Structure 1
């Protein structure tokens, strides 16, 4: 945990002032919203059902969708470029996700290993409910550990808005890890809160209002996530189909809820790597509903792996059921050839690797696991 004295904590007087401003601006915003609610409450609280993610969120053309778990929190990210090239970490702003960098990823991937993360609380990363999970010290420590999981000692950071703010902290606290830093629409933290007064969507009034409990979430979800329409007006000017999809993508990621119950029964998921019917993505999505699971990828098998590779499947079943102690070791050639090869061995994710659902947990995993690679985007 960070103990650096470069983070200056506000005084008690300043804390009281912040709470007072939050109350005042919150009351003002409630008064401003009240006529809309009274005039048409059904429209005010309207929320379109979004069960499936737009294609732009699950399309792998921009990169490989992957997950890593750090101290009990699951992070989703998209990776592109050569793994041997210098690493660039892209940190999005609010209200955004990895998709914010869709125009930069293809360009940067020609020269760099690009990682576009969903910050905690956004996109397909975990969204813990407790405010304590979002302390700046915790966020920065998680980003540090996230970088280290890629086996590098140094990387460059490009951050926009909130992501830029986190980038400033990374540079100040872990400067030896950051080769170069680019901040987009984000001044130094000492000036970050000096917002331009006016009626912009995220002005100083809204910043103070966002400190209140419950009300900011209700306000953000009003009128089918009008906050997304207000924040991304530039995507609606040309009104093209692709830009409509991006707006819908932001609404989909912003409206996701933790609604499913996990299965406690230990489960083994088997799939052939050449299956023309069942996709890798669907196996990943299925794992979100299971607390303790294993995955077995059968190389060279299609939709009937138990018939096409019966010996391998039988061995996997016996191993999973505890009737044999023999573990089939995948060849180093397969491991090096692709990430599918690394999954050819039974991968014991379980509770140590990936809780898959956005669990609200206070548990801490002391030993950081290696990266968990998946193809595709999951849904909740």
Structure 2
């Protein structure tokens, strides 16, 4: 590493940690102080959950299986007959395979539906290092998984972090994606565009910077028996969003209370930021860019009441795709496929019937 590059990397990390510290004081400390003052005993409580909620073993959702990838054992839930076209579901944060329960039931008649726990989540292995969660590793898992399931390509369905991975995968391996469906997931280039020019998104993304700190983010989410995790799936009225139930909420809490899961999930953000700082520090001729526009047919479904992602993001992604369909769900939050599953499923069916643009 040259001196100039080293200085740029150092300054990049200095800026990130300064912003992270700022948000820790402005947002995080008041949350923790309020929790401590209201219930000091519960504040440090983290109940270890030994018994899996029954909904995670619901046979109507599919069969649980494991696929051995290079250096990783991946947990999958499979619904649908062998020989049907593959529909692969990739979840976001803080979720897991279970976030696709409505789609597993709906599309199992016509597709071989496979919902995965991504690396670090649920019953999939949890590599220990931040470097184990780079985009190359995440897209590499999908690249290995498709042939391991006996297929050459798939309909790739994704949400949030899963969508970020799916965008990158479709750009890198277009022959392995028949159609791409994303839900409230920013295309990485569109996200970079808006972060550079829109202060509102910068403020909405405060947690990304906060997650760069060691230990503290894990403590914030897990304190008071994972209260913040549970509140993320509730509306302003305190009720769980959409069709979700208290048992669904407990299912996520169970998964994230298991050893190392929370750190592994947050490491996605840490690896992404470190990669970005490194790439920005490289000389122009050393910077890596994607191959260009995504050429596979893309459907983006967007809940326009998302509090973490700016409403302009899905439209900004249009210029990075050659065959792009955008559908909004008015009043829907970030948790698209769980809050409005019937609407989402109908939009998916309509898109899947359409032929590719020539």
TM bucket normalised to smaller: 0.5 to 0.7
CA distance in 2, matches of 1:122, 1:165: 16
Residue in structure 2 matched with residue 267 of structure 1 by the alignment: none
Greater Cα offset, 116-125 or 24-33: 24-33
Residue in structure 2 matched with residue 33 of structure 1 by the alignment: 31
Residue in structure 2 matched with residue 52 of structure 1 by the alignment: 51
Q: Please state if 1:249 is matched with 2:248.
A: no
CA distance in 2, matches of 1:156, 1:150: 13
| Structure 1 residue 75: Cα displacement | 1.0
Give a deviation string over 1:336-362, Cα, whole Å, max 9, x none: xxxxxxxxxxxxxxxxxxxxxxxxxxx
Give a deviation string over 1:248-270, Cα, whole Å, max 9, x none: 101000110169xxxxxxxxxxx
Residue in structure 2 matched with residue 334 of structure 1 by the alignment: none
**Structure 1: which 5+ runs fail to align?**
1-10, 260-380
Over the aligned positions, Cα root-mean-square deviation in angstroms equals 2.9
Residue in structure 1 matched with residue 112 of structure 2 by the alignment: 113
| Structure 1 residue 129: Cα displacement | 2.4
After superposition, the Cα gap between the structure-2 partners of 1:241 and 1:121, relative to the gap in structure 1 and judged at 3 Å, is: same
After superposition, the Cα gap between the structure-2 partners of 1:17 and 1:258, relative to the gap in structure 1 and judged at 3 Å, is: closer
Matches within 5 A, 1:246-325: 246-257=248-259
Give a deviation string over 1:40-90, Cα, whole Å, max 9, x none: 432212222321011011122210000112222221110011111110110
Which of 17, 20, 25 is residue 19 of structure 1 equivalent to?
17
After superposition, the Cα gap between the structure-2 partners of 1:241 and 1:42, relative to the gap in structure 1 and judged at 3 Å, is: farther
| Structure 1 residue 204: Cα displacement | 1.2
CA distance in 2, matches of 1:211, 1:240: 31
Which structure has more helix as a fraction of its residues?
2
CA distance in 2, matches of 1:128, 1:156: 27
After superposition, the Cα gap between the structure-2 partners of 1:154 and 1:224, relative to the gap in structure 1 and judged at 3 Å, is: same
Aligned with 1:25: secondary structure?
A: helix
CA distance in 2, matches of 1:153, 1:53: 34
CA distance in 2, matches of 1:198, 1:128: 34
Say whether the 8 Å CA contact 1:236–1:243 is kept in structure 2. no
After superposition, the Cα gap between the structure-2 partners of 1:197 and 1:244, relative to the gap in structure 1 and judged at 3 Å, is: farther
Say whether the 8 Å CA contact 2:32–2:220 is kept in structure 1. no
Aligned with 2:23: secondary structure?
A: helix
Say whether the 8 Å CA contact 2:86–2:112 is kept in structure 1. yes
Relative to the length of structure 2, the TM-score reads 0.63
| Structure 1 residue 30: Cα displacement | 4.3
Aligned with 2:60: secondary structure?
A: coil
CA distance in 1, matches of 2:158, 2:118: 11
